[in-house]
């Protein structure tokens, strides 16, 4: 009783000091960084532009940064196919570090491939701190198939399929084709582990980089959304960090069944035990959700 009183008395002056008019550059909101998916751009009024507007409408005063990779929308779209992912991540890290509005930390929301790229940002660049990462239809164990390209980008898809078939793990294709950098061939596990420039690195396939493990665990929450009728991502379980079992291309394993989790090479098992992993499912095809679903399921993580 006396101890409680003492605490209250000691706390009182502190409360008085902090309850004054504190200057908050973000109006009491947590800034949000968006990274678009393949074939999309920062500012498409029908996709990222609409989502940015929708969130700004729901959370008054929020700063939403929709990442543009390159100098304009055309470059941004092309870079989603052809610019080395490690380079993109490093560009984004620099950009975020230089934005004064993000100094106090930010939430991040990645769409499709933008989700695994933002996870790399969390693992490699802890400053400014990412608080919550929301992966919307991301491919955290990569893809083994590209059944359909989203939107208007089908002409690129034929090109990509040809390149991947000619050898996803050859140096030339790896370096110049974004999708090859998260191509995960369960029948050629050795090649994947050895030559995948991006995904095998961030998923700790070659070595366990303790920095990646430590940084990822700094997240307050890691939310993964899977689309139950997804026709773009193959296999769809990758959206929850699951994948095909190694050595065959039929049977799946969940994140919890994987070596990555069992050996806890990335800290995901620890995060799971701490209640930091959130698995959400949404009815519908790739990235197809309603504002109602978004507001009910994702908005609470952004407040």
* Residue from 36, 52, 124, 286 in contact with ligand NAG (CB under 6 A): 124
For ligand NAG, the closer CB: 209 or 246: 209
Q: Is 184 a known active-site residue? A: no
Per-residue mark of binding to ligand NAG, 72-101 (x: CB under 6 A):
-----------------------------x
Stretch that binds ligand NAG, among 23-31, 81-89, 170-178, 260-268 (CB under 6 A): 23-31
Q: What is the DSSP letter of 82?
A: H
Among 187, 89, 205, CA closest to 195:
205
**CA torsion angle 225 230 236 238 (round to 10):** -40
Q: How many residues bind ligand NAG (CB under 6 A)?
A: 11
- Taking the complex as a whole, how short is the minimal distance between the CB of residue 100 and ligand NAG, in angstroms? 10
Q: List strand residue ranges (DSSP E) for the chain, in order.
A: 32-35, 64-66, 106-111, 130-136, 221-227, 243-244, 252-253, 277-282
* Residue from 35, 63, 195, 289 in contact with ligand NAG (CB under 6 A): 63
Q: Is 230 a known active-site residue? A: yes
- Taking the complex as a whole, how short is the minimal distance between the CB of residue 117 and ligand NAG, in angstroms? 14
Name residues contacting ligand NAG, limited to 198-217 (CB under 6 A): 207, 209, 211-212
Q: Is residue 27 near ligand NAG by the rule CB under 6 A?
A: yes
Q: Is 76 a known active-site residue? A: no
CA–CA separation, 252 vs 49, rounded Å?
Answer: 35
Set 41, 47, 112, 196: catalytic member: 112
State the number of CA atoms in the 13 A half-sphere of 227 facing the CB: 21
- Taking the complex as a whole, how short is the minimal distance between the CB of residue 206 and ligand NAG, in angstroms? 8
What is the chain's alpha carbon radius of gyration, rounded to the nearest angstrom? 20
Token readout for 187 is 């029948």
CA–CA separation, 122 vs 133, rounded Å?
Answer: 8
CA–CA separation, 234 vs 243, rounded Å?
Answer: 9
Q: Is residue 291 near ligand NAG by the rule CB under 6 A?
A: no
For ligand NAG, the closer CB: 106 or 212: 212
Among 99, 109, 100, CA closest to 34:
109
For ligand NAG, the closer CB: 203 or 282: 203
Beta bridge partners of 107: 32
- Taking the complex as a whole, how short is the minimal distance between the CB of residue 18 and ligand NAG, in angstroms? 20
| Residues labelled catalytic | 112, 230, 286
Q: Which residues bind ligand NAG (CB under 6 A)?
A: 25-27, 61, 63, 101, 124, 207, 209, 211-212
């Amino acid at each position: 009783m006396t101890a409680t009183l003492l605490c209250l008395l000691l706390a009182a002056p502190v409360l008085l000091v902090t309850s004054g008019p504190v200057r908050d550059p973000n109006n009491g909101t947590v800034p949000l960084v968006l990274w678009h998916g393949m074939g999309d751009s920062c500012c498409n009024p029908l996709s990222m532009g609409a989502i940015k507007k929708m969130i700004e409408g729901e959370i008054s005063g929020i700063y939403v940064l929709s990442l543009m990779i390159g100098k304009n929308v055309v470059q941004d779209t092309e870079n989603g196919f052809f610019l080395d992912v490690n380079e993109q991540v490093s560009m984004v890290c620099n950009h975020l570090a230089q934005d004064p509005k993000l100094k106090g930390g930010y939430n991040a929301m990645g769409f499709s491939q933008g989700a695994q790229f933002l996870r790399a940002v969390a693992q490699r660049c802890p400053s400014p701190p990412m608080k919550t990462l929301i992966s919307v239809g991301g491919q955290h164990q990569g893809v083994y198939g590209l059944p359909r390209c989203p939107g208007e980008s089908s002409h690129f898809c034929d090109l990509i399929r040809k390149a991947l078939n000619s050898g996803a793990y050859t140096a030339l294709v790896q370096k110049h084709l974004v999708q090859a950098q998260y191509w995960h061939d369960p029948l050629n596990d050795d090649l994947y582990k050895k030559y995948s420039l991006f995904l095998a690195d961030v998923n700790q396939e070659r070595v366990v980089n303790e920095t990646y493990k430590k940084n990822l665990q700094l997240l307050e929450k890691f939310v993964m959304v899977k689309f139950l009728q997804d026709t773009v991502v193959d296999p769809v379980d990758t959206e929850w960090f699951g994948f095909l079992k190694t050595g065959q291309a039929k049977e799946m394993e969940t994140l919890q069944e994987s070596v990555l989790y069992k050996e806890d090479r990335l800290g995901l098992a620890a995060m799971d035990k701490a209640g930091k992993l959130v698995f959400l499912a949404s009815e519908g095809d790739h990235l197809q959700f309603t504002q109602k679903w978004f507001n009910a399921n994702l908005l609470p993580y952004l407040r």
